[in-house]
Structure 1
Amino acid sequence: MAVTLPSKASNREGKAWIFLFAAWTVALVSTLGALFIGEVLGQVPCTLCWHQRIFMFPLAVLLAIACYRSDAAVWPYVSGLAAIGWLLAAWHSLLYFGVVSEAIQPCGAGPSCSGSNMMLLGTVPIPLLSLLAFTAILVLMLALIREERS
């Protein structure tokens, strides 16, 4: 019985798939969490939350397809969407923590970004969760790029 060792190419594809799967998991949990908060808990999202959803929801679909096809070439599209979403989430977090004054706050009409309903389990602000999710996806895409180029 002969034992064959995995080639470097198959090992690299396996690592790339793990990064894609991890990024998809983050995007899926974020998407389902946003839908749960909006549809089940009935909390209407503010303008900035809507814009962040615009960039997170497609990531769940793109990364699912990339995982299914083991397609690491999706990283430019995912990174672009995640980078814009990250900028929005960073701005939203700055507003939430009061670093940016209320006078230039774009979500003045509608739900407040500073209410107690913007906390998950009463401790973690939702804008910060969004920032962490986009950051995780970007870090995973950087790891994917590094793995593909090595």
Structure 2
Amino acid sequence: MSKKLENALLTIWVVSLTATLGSLYFSEIRGYEPCTLCWYQRIIMYPIVLISTIAYIQKNAKIALTTAVFSCIGAATSLYHYSIQKLDFLQESSPSCGRVPCTGEYINWLGFITIPFLALTAFVIIAATSFYMLKVLKEEK
């Protein structure tokens, strides 16, 4: 496997592990109860950590399609979640998310960085890296 692919696998692993540890920090240490959409984002992110760990150990870049699919679904979920937090016209019609409203903002750094924004950033980085890996794999054939 080329160094480009190995570095890309490492990038996916580091980003997904950081996102996972960050979500656990917010819920387990800071005590922020996740809303339903946060749970969906976790359900999508956590397997990426396991998939990328095994892939990195095995030097298997063929998981790029899998991580691309997971991260695109996660990014769409995060974008929707972030939109209902920040866009007034969506807040009014947003679904009820159980005990914790999905429109709530536990953090709001610099006026725009919320937990769904952090998740969106991680998913976009993973997706971009996955598509890069697919391109490199195609070129190396």
| TM-score normalised over the length of structure 2 | 0.89
Unaligned stretches of 5+ residues in structure 2? none
Aligned twin of 1:112 = 101
The amino acid across from 1:127 in the alignment is P
Alignment partner of 1:88 is 2:42: no
Aligned twin of 1:18 = 7
SS of residue matched to 2:106 = helix
Q: Tell me how far apart the structure 1 counterparts of residues 124 and 89 of structure 2 sit (CA, whole Å).
A: 21
Deviation of 1:104 (Å) = 3.1
The amino acid across from 2:124 in the alignment is T
Total equivalences in the alignment: 139
Aligned twin of 1:64 = 53
Identical amino acids, percent of aligned pairs = 29
RMSD: 1.9
Cα 1:92–1:116 shift into 2, 3 Å: closer
Cα 1:59–1:100 shift into 2, 3 Å: farther
SS of residue matched to 1:135 = helix
Aligned twin of 2:131 = 142
Deviation of 1:119 (Å) = 3.1
| TM-score normalised over the length of structure 1 | 0.84
**Which of 101-110 and 128-137 deviates more?**
101-110
The amino acid across from 1:29 in the alignment is T
Q: Tell me how far apart the structure 2 counterparts of residues 73 and 108 of structure 1 sit (CA, whole Å).
A: 36
**Structure with the greater alpha carbon radius of gyration:** 1
